[in-house]
Amino acid sequence: MGHIDIKDFIKNNFKVSDFAYLHWEGTFQDYLNTVGNNPKVTRNAFQRIYDMITSYGSRTYNEYKKEVVRYNFFDDPFDNGADAVFGIDVHLMKLVNFFKAAASGYGTEKRVLLLHGPVGSAKSSIARLLKKGLEHYSRTDAGALYTYEWFDNEKTEILGGESTFPCPMHEEPIRLIPTTLRPQFLTELNRGSKERKVSIKGDICPACRYIYNQYMKKYDGNWTKLADHIRVKRLVLSEKDRIGIGTFQPKDEKNQDSTELTGDINYRKIALYGSDSDPRAFNFDGEFNIANRGLVEFIEMLKLDVAFLYDLLGASQEQCIKPKKFSQTDIDEVIIGHTNEPEFRKLQSNEFMEALRDRTVKIDIPYITRLDNEIKIYHKDFNPDKIPHIHIAPHTIEMAALWAILTRLEEPKKSDLTKLQKLKLYNGKTLPGYNEDNVKELRKEAMREGLEGISPRYIQDKLSNSLVKNGHTGCLNPFMVFNELESGLKHHALINSQEMQEHYREMLSVARQEYEDTVKNDVQKAISVDETAIQTLCANYIDNVKAYTQKEKIRNRFSNKLEDADERFMRSIEEKIDIPESRKDDFRREIMNYIGALAIEGKTFDFKMNERLHRALELKLFEDQKDSIKLTNIIAKVVDKDTQEKIEVVKSRLIKNHGYCEICATDALNFVASIFAKGDSAKSQ
CA distance 368 to 348: 25
pLDDT of residue 529: 67
Q: Where are the alpha helices (DSSP H) in 528-661?
A: 531-549, 567-574, 584-600, 611-629, 632-636, 641-658
CA distance 320 to 245: 17
**Domain map (residue ranges) of the chain:** 18-366, 371-526, 529-629
CA angle 378, 380, 381 (to 5 degrees): 75
Q: What are phi and psi of 279, to 5 degrees?
A: -60, -20
CA distance 363 to 338: 9
Structural fold of domain 18-366: Rossmann fold (3.40.50)
- CB of 175 within 8 A of CB of 202? yes
Segment 499-503 long-range contacts (CB within 8 Å, at least 24 positions apart): 503/407
Cβ burial, residue 153 (10 Å; 0-12/13-18/19+): exposed
pLDDT of residue 683: 44
CA distance 520 to 132: 45
Q: Where are the alpha helices (DSSP H) in 359-418?
A: 371-381, 396-408
| Among 138, 129, 187, 171, residue whose Cα is nearest residue 28 | 171
DSSP state of 412: P
| Among 28, 47, 336, residue whose Cα is nearest residue 201 | 47
CA angle 675, 371, 477 (to 5 degrees): 40
- CB of 156 within 8 A of CB of 100? no
CA distance 421 to 412: 10
CA distance 556 to 573: 19
pLDDT of residue 583: 86
pLDDT of residue 684: 41
Cβ burial, residue 550 (10 Å; 0-12/13-18/19+): exposed
Q: Consecutive sets of 10 residues in the chain, 685 residues long: mean pLDDT of each? A: 70 71 92 92 95 95 85 91 88 95 91 90 92 94 95 87 92 94 91 81 93 94 93 95 90 67 87 84 91 92 74 86 88 91 76 78 91 91 87 94 94 86 87 80 85 91 92 91 90 78 92 92 78 79 87 76 84 85 87 84 77 79 65 57 78 89 89 72 43
- CB of 431 within 8 A of CB of 421? yes
CA angle 557, 627, 640 (to 5 degrees): 125
- CB of 506 within 8 A of CB of 489? no
pLDDT of residue 630: 58
Q: Which residues pair with 247 in a beta bridge?
A: 297
